[in-house]
Every structure is written in structure tokens, then in C-alpha cells.
Structure 1
Amino acid sequence: MLAVQLARLSGDLPYACDVHLVEPRPVPGPGLAYTARRPEYLLNVRSQFLSAFPDQPDHFQNWLRLTSSEICQQSFCSRQSYGRYMQQLVSQVLEWPSLNGFRFTWHNQTARSVVVQPDSKAATVQLSDGTELLSEYVVLALGNFPPPPPTTRSTEYLAHANFHGNPWAQGALRNIDTHDSVLLIGTGLTAIDVLLGLRADGHQGTVTAVSGHGRWPAAHEFQQTSYPDFYASELAGADTVLAVLQTVRRHVRIAKVQGINWRTVLDTLRPHLGRIWAGWPLPEQARFLRHLAGIWSVVRHRSPPQNASIISEMLQSGQVQSEVGRVRDIVPMTKNLRVTVQKGQEPPRQLIARHVIACTGPLLDYSRIQEPLVVGLRTSGNLQPDELHLGIQTDAYGALLNAQGQASEVLFTLGPSRRPAFFESTAVPELREQAVELARELGRRLLENRATTN
């Protein structure tokens, strides 16, 4: 998205500027989220909100009409369709130089390291084949990392053929037979995708889903009626979780009396979520993560109605069973795995399953990520994980902060890594705004640099 937005910047650069897109996957554009060729994996945002361009809200829908025969039930399209959309946008950028002077090159490799020059005015990016790219600006668009191990009490299970630590890994879940028992760790959107995939493959075995709260994502429901935006009048400046929670609950009650769904109330606040989060001091942010993050993920990150209906049917039939508790230990057996689950202070329970799949979401803590590029930047002090273990510390433009809290002149990031600043930093509507703003900022700096040099 950032590359596409750079190509669309208005105004001509007084020079040619090379943009290097380093992407090891076979095709640039779709990334991890939109690569899977499975029609049952649906976007959990309606297609009218998924244009890559905020100023052209119908762009994705028009693209669908022109290029796809897919029938999007209730406007929820497959993720593979969105992957094709992003692939086409990126391929157009790569095919020829942009009119504004940007030239784009794709390197089908992995970036092994980023070394900031001593004068902090440039950085050298080393690729897996030894190629070195000297760059004025380096943007870490790293997306999400695989889930962390669900428990570290023992680690032998990590090597078991039937433990699936990353359901999105190449070839994952292919050794699950039709009648094998399966245990899912987590009941969020990833777990729903896994269940839909198993169902499409004809799986008939029992599935047990373990989570600390036992809740599944709420289903989307839509009303024509809107709800008045109350952020400016009641929430701007609210610096405690309790104050925000009380205000939102009051408006949900008011909306209910008017026949308006609670989802509409929360959706009214979506443009302001980053400001609400940023308005809380660190202890309040930590309080939200401890007490409300779980229920927030249920009500905020919703499931398409058709997906929610399928999960409800599977729960009612008994094919899927929910277990409330935390996974304390996983012990490999000959073919099965024994999972110890405990709810609060209750006695632990032991569950046996042929396969265990971690559906707990990505690893966000940059102090634990072991990718060589991240380790190198962390070791050199150029990348600082945040105190709440949500991502990377940045300034308002996405520039990385160093160990002294100073903003880098070279290193930037966007996407999930900016959760410390916005908390909500993974969905397309937020990502495209970040891409637009960062493209404008980089374009401005490039012009200023050349003017200073000349």
C-alpha cells in the first residue's frame, strides 16, 4: 500500500527516485493475510470499506465488478479476491516509472539486516544474496509474525508432527485426517478460519476450542440507521478507561431504546479509536489490556454473518465444543497430544487430541521476535519495543525511536508494529490511512533534502 501511495503522490520530483520493494513471497502484494487460495476465508470487513484509496471509496468494489465473477454474500468477499486486488495494484506500480519520478524495483528476497550509517542520514539494507541497498529511507512493513508458543512449561511438543504452531504456514494442517480429533487454542477470527477450512475439507472429527473467556467473535449486523458521533462532546480528553467505558455503555443503552444496535454505536467511534487509546496514560492502557482487551476483540473484530452462522451450527451439533481456561502445558504422546487446561483456581483438566492448533494471534512483542533483521536493529538500539509489548516505539510519523527516545531520520514503520500508538493498527481502513500519511511525509522529506543539497 505504501508503494502504491508513493506512486500516486502529486507533484513531480526534480529527480528520479528509486523505491526498492523487498518481498520474499512469490508474488508481491497479497502478503500473508490474502495469499491463501481458499474461498471460505472471508474478509471480515464489507467490500465498500476496503478500497486501497481513502479518496476513492468505490475503487475495490468497481475492481470486483470488472475483474471478478465472485458473488459476495452480504458484501463480504473472499480474502483471496482482495489478494488479487493488491497484487494488481502493485504490479502496475512495478511495470513502469510513475509520472512523479518514482521508479519501483521488486527484490524477491529476504532482508537480512539494516545498518544505519554513522551520520544517521542513510542505511544499508543487506539482502539474502548479499546485495546491499544504500537507502535514504527504510520502511519496515513487516506485517505480523507467527504466534508465540502457547506454553513454555515444556517445549518437546513444538517438534511434534501434530502440533501446528502457525496455521498459516505453508502446508499446515494437511496431515489432519477426516475423523481426527482437533483442539484449537483460541476462539477468535483465526479459529473461525481454521474451522471453516476443516469443514470445507470434509473433516468430521470432534473439535475442542479452548480460550480464557469462551467467547466467539460477534457477528456483523447492519442497520440503515446511524448514531450521532459523541466523541468530541463526551470522550475527547477522557483519560481513564472507566470514563470511556461508562460513556460508551450509556450510549449503548440509549441506542437500544431507539432500536439501534450496539454495533452501530461502536462503529461511530471507529475513526476516533486511536485518539481514545493515545489519550490514556500508560497505566490506563495497561488496565485496558488486562481487563477489557479480550471482550473488545470479540465485539470489535466481528465475523461475517454467514461464518458466524456456520460456527453456531457446529457448536449446536456438538461437533465443536468450547472449553474455558488457560493452556498450562502440552505433552506429546505417541500420536496424540495431552493438553492441560485450567480455569482460575479450579483443578486443572487434561484433554487429549490428535492435533493441536495454535489460533492465539500473532506475536506482537518485538523484544521476543528473533528475525535477524529485527534482532540487529534491536541490538544496535535503533528499534525499541514498547513497554506494553504491542509493537515498536515511534513518533507521530512512524519514525522509529532509539534508546534515547530520539526519532530516526532514516527508519520508519507502519502496520501492526504501530499498535503502541494506535492499538487498532491491523485493518485495511487504518492501514491505508497510515500508508497515505507516510507517503506524503517521505515525499516532503525527499523534496526538502534535495532542495538543501542543491
Structure 2
Amino acid sequence: MLLVQLANLPGGPYPFDVHLVEPRPAPGPGLAYSARRQEYLLNVRTTALSAFPNQPDHFARWVAATDSPPCEQQFCSRQVYGRYLQELVSTVLTQPATNGLRFFWHQDSAVAATLTPDGRAATVRLASGTALPSDQVVLALGNFPPLPPAGPDQAYLTHSTYHGNPWAPGALRNIAPQDSVLLIGSGLTAVDVLLGLDADGHTGPVTVVSRNGRWPAEHGPAGLSYPNFYAADLAGMSTVGEVLRAVRHRIREAAAQGIDWRPVLDSLRPSLGKIWAAWPLAEQARFLRHLASIWSVVRHRSPPQNTAAVQGMLDAGIVRMQLGRVRQTVPQGPDLAVQVQQQGQARWLTARHVISCTGPLLDYGRIDSALVTSLREAGLLVPDALRLGMQTNAHGALMDARGQASGVLFTLGPSRRPAYFESTAVPELRQQAAALAQHLAGDWVVE
């Protein structure tokens, strides 16, 4: 999205080149939208997925103008959205932008980024040995795979029926229809895995181990709205308790008027960053301990057809929920034994396949990417205190170990969760991309 926003900057001509470092076969779709399965649906309607903040219907018009499969109830497949992003990026890469910028794709991985002695530029080194001298570097790294979900013995990680990455190509294809399966987690990833199994004709028992026993909430009907009440009710509140009471009061008032809770929460979306930023660190930590899992359930919802499909598997007895936390996973011949603990009591479950459906690793102190490690060890990238991402300033510039904002290194996306908390969905990402493109352009000196 940043690439596309740079190509659409007004003005110029800008005598600069933009280098995209992306090792995947096609730049654009990334991890989330590369899956070649039609049953994996976006959990946001088409009307909210335009790549351009000022053209909210751009994606919907693209779907209508292409041979894309129909989007039932306005929920398209992830594959369709991947095609949309790939087409946008391909257009940028094949021709110079009208503002003079030229774009180059390196199908490679960045392994290090070092600042010049004066700190005013950097050199990005690729796995192939290529060096890219750069005036500005943007870390658009997306999400990293989760840590192993169980210990201390991690021999299971190399077991043939352990699936640590359900998004890997063909990840579910070696699961026979009658095989027993255990999923760790009950969020949107788990829902996608269940839909994939169902599409493959799976009939064997599936156990879903969940800490809270909750599935993602279902999306309500399209077109419902509620007025934003941040300024009236929430501005100036500095504790989680205050905000929670005020939001609950609004939800009760809305319910009395026959208004669903979903549009009440959705009305606050533009203000979520301000609510989060108003909480001191201790309050942010309190939210993460007590409410973050519930927030994830009600905020990141599932399309109605997905909810119906999962309920059908539950009603048929194919899927069952097991409350608890996974403590150990041990190979047991062709199977895997999983220890689940709940309220101090532990029990062992056995399944032929175990699939990790936990969330991404956010802690940049534990991410072992060569690029991240090099920046962290040089003091140029500093994880935040809550281990949600990187420390940055208001423009996404990385803060170094001395607390100084970089004029060279920037980031956007999930790495900016410390600033916004909500920093993973398209509406937030496209706004960050547009703002960062403008900021970068403001630093350019045209001779």
C-alpha cells in the first residue's frame, strides 16, 4: 500500500528510485492474501477494503469490473483480495509514475540495514549479497509466525503431523478425512482452518483448545451505523474502567432503542488510537491482561456464512471445544499427545494432527529475523515496554536506544501497535501508508 501511495503522490518530478524487497513469487498479496483457497473469506466487507482512503469504493468497483467470483453478502475471498493488491503493485512496477518515481522489485530478503557514519542514510543488504544504498528505509514487515505454543520439549516441532503454519502452501492437504485433529486457538485462523477441513470433506473428530472458549463474533447486517461518541463521552478518560463503563452505558442505551451493539463499537473505530494513547502504560497493561482477548472476539468478527459453517460442524459433533491452555506437546508414534491445563487440572488429549492457530509474534525482542536482529543489536530498533511492536514517533520513525527519532528508518503496520493498538486492518493500514508517503515526500530535496 505504501508503494501504491508513493506512486500516486502529487507533484514532482521526484528524481528518486523506490526499491521493493519481497522474496515471495508475487509482490502484493503477502502472507494473508496468498492462500489459494476460495473458502478463506475476508472478515471485512468489500466496502471497507479499498487501498485508497479517498476512494472508498475502489475495491468494490474492481471486483465488479473483473471476473472475480461473486462475494456472498459482500465478503470476498482472501484470494480475490490478493489478486487486487497484486494488480495494483504490478501496475506500479511496470511503468514510471507520473511524478517521476521509478520502482524496482528485488525478489530477495533483507538481512541487515546499517546507517552511514553521519546517520543520514543507510545501506540495506540482501541475502544475495546485493547492497542498496538508501536515503530512507521503511520496514513493512507484516506479522511474524508465533512462537512454539508448548514446551519444554519441542521435539514435536519436527513431527510430520504438527502444523506450525496453517497458511503454508498445502498445509492441510496431508490430513486424511478421517484423521483426528487438534487446533490450538479459537480465533479467525482457527475458523479458516475449520472451513478448509470442511471443504476437503473432513469427517474425523476435531478438538479446539481455547483459553476463553469463545469464537469470533458474527458480523451483523450491512449498513447499520451509530454516531461516534468519543468527543461527548470518552475524551479525557485515562483509565480502562472509565472507558469500559461509558461504552457499556452506550450499548445499553442503544439496545433499549433496538440498536445492536456492533455499530456502537464500530462508531469508535476512528478514535481507537486516541483512546489507547490516553491510557498510561499501567492502564494499557491492564487492558491487555483483562480485556484484550474479549476485545479480539467482538472487534475482529467473522462473516455470517463462516459462523454458520462452524456451527454446522459443532452441531454434527465433528468439532468440540476444550477449555484450557496447552502446556506440552509430545510425539506419540504417528500421533501427538497434548497436555491441556484448566484451573490447575491437567489432562492429555491425543490427535493425529495438531495445528497451531495462535496469533502472530509481536515482541520485537524475540523476533529472530536477521534484519530485525541487526537493527535491534545496533540499538536502532527498540521493542516497546508491552512487547506489542516497535517504539516510534508520530510519523512511524523508529526511536533508537537513546530515545532519538530516526530520519532514515520508518515502519508501518502491525509494528506500530504500541502507538495505536489497532494497527493490522486495511482501513488503518491504508491511512498509515498515505500519511507516511506524504511525510517521506516532505523530506525529499529536489534539485
TM over 0.5: same fold?
A: yes
User: Structure 1 counterpart of 2:379, which letter?
Assistant: G
SS at match of 2:76: coil
User: Structure 1 counterpart of 2:127, which letter?
Assistant: S
Deviation at 1:383, TM superposition (A): 0.5
Out of 415, 435, 444, the position equivalent to 1:417 is: 415
User: Structure 1 counterpart of 2:9, which letter?
Assistant: L
For 2:237 and 2:351, locate their aligned partners in 1 and report how far apart those are by CA, in whole Å: 47
Deviation sequence 1:319-356 (CA, Å, 0-9, x none): 100001011111111111111111122x2111011111
Q: Is the 8 A contact 2:35 2:169 kept in 1?
A: no
Aligned partner of 2:428 in structure 1 is: 430
For 2:223 and 2:94, locate their aligned partners in 1 and report how far apart those are by CA, in whole Å: 42
- Where in structure 2 are the equivalents of 1:2-151 lying within 5 Å? 2-13=2-13, 15-151=14-150
Q: Is the 8 A contact 1:94 1:106 kept in 2?
A: yes
Aligned alpha-carbon RMSD (Å): 1.0
Deviates most, 151-160 or 360-369: 151-160
Say yes or no: does 1:379 pair with 2:371: no
Deviation at 1:69, TM superposition (A): 3.8
Q: 1:312 to 1:45 in 2, by over 3 A?
A: same
For 2:387 and 2:206, locate their aligned partners in 1 and report how far apart those are by CA, in whole Å: 31
Aligned partner of 2:185 in structure 1 is: 186
Aligned partner of 1:162 in structure 2 is: 161
Deviation at 1:224, TM superposition (A): 4.3
For 2:222 and 2:174, locate their aligned partners in 1 and report how far apart those are by CA, in whole Å: 43
User: Structure 2 counterpart of 1:11, which letter?
Assistant: G
Deviation at 1:91, TM superposition (A): 0.7
For 1:118 and 1:210, locate their aligned partners in 2 and report how far apart those are by CA, in whole Å: 51
Aligned partner of 1:232 in structure 2 is: 231
Aligned partner of 2:205 in structure 1 is: 206
Structure 2: segments with no counterpart, 5+ residues:
none
Aligned partner of 2:263 in structure 1 is: 264
Deviation at 1:283, TM superposition (A): 0.5
For 1:382 and 1:180, locate their aligned partners in 2 and report how far apart those are by CA, in whole Å: 48
Out of 404, 418, 423, the position equivalent to 1:406 is: 404
User: Structure 1 counterpart of 2:369, which letter?
Assistant: E
User: Structure 1 counterpart of 2:314, which letter?
Assistant: L
Aligned partner of 1:288 in structure 2 is: 287
SS at match of 1:74: helix
For 1:224 and 1:163, locate their aligned partners in 2 and report how far apart those are by CA, in whole Å: 42
For 2:405 and 2:124, locate their aligned partners in 1 and report how far apart those are by CA, in whole Å: 19
Q: Is the 8 A contact 1:49 1:429 kept in 2?
A: yes
- Where in structure 2 are the equivalents of 1:270-349 lying within 5 Å? 270-345=269-344, 347-349=345-347
Say yes or no: does 1:443 pair with 2:431: no
User: Structure 2 counterpart of 1:415, which letter?
Assistant: G
Deviation at 1:308, TM superposition (A): 0.6
Deviation sequence 1:404-425 (CA, Å, 0-9, x none): 1110110000011111111111
The alignment-based identity, stated in percent, is 63
Q: 1:417 to 1:322 in 2, by over 3 A?
A: same
For 1:340 and 1:131, locate their aligned partners in 2 and report how far apart those are by CA, in whole Å: 46
SS at match of 2:306: helix
Say yes or no: does 1:350 pair with 2:334: no
- How many residues align structurally? 447
For 1:161 and 1:69, locate their aligned partners in 2 and report how far apart those are by CA, in whole Å: 36
Structure 1: segments with no counterpart, 5+ residues:
none
SS at match of 2:269: helix
Q: Is the 8 A contact 1:122 1:410 kept in 2?
A: yes
SS at match of 2:267: helix
Say yes or no: does 1:197 pair with 2:201: no
Deviation sequence 1:8-53 (CA, Å, 0-9, x none): 111113x421000000000011111111111101010000111000
For 2:264 and 2:169, locate their aligned partners in 1 and report how far apart those are by CA, in whole Å: 39
Deviation at 1:196, TM superposition (A): 0.5
For 1:16 and 1:101, locate their aligned partners in 2 and report how far apart those are by CA, in whole Å: 6
Deviation at 1:300, TM superposition (A): 0.2
Deviation sequence 1:297-316 (CA, Å, 0-9, x none): 00000000000111111112
For 2:226 and 2:62, locate their aligned partners in 1 and report how far apart those are by CA, in whole Å: 30
For 1:239 and 1:53, locate their aligned partners in 2 and report how far apart those are by CA, in whole Å: 33
For 1:197 and 1:3, locate their aligned partners in 2 and report how far apart those are by CA, in whole Å: 32
For 2:254 and 2:318, locate their aligned partners in 1 and report how far apart those are by CA, in whole Å: 36
Deviation sequence 1:370-429 (CA, Å, 0-9, x none): 111111001000000111111111000000010011101100000111111111111000
SS at match of 1:88: helix
For 2:284 and 2:304, locate their aligned partners in 1 and report how far apart those are by CA, in whole Å: 31
- Where in structure 2 are the equivalents of 1:246-257 lying within 5 Å? 246-257=245-256
Taking structure 2 as the reference length, what is the TM-score of the superposition? 0.98
For 1:69 and 1:384, locate their aligned partners in 2 and report how far apart those are by CA, in whole Å: 42
Q: Is the 8 A contact 2:392 2:405 kept in 1?
A: yes
Q: Is the 8 A contact 2:43 2:303 kept in 1?
A: yes
Q: Is the 8 A contact 1:223 1:261 kept in 2?
A: no
Q: Is the 8 A contact 1:223 1:264 kept in 2?
A: no
For 1:393 and 1:170, locate their aligned partners in 2 and report how far apart those are by CA, in whole Å: 33
User: Structure 2 counterpart of 1:352, which letter?
Assistant: T
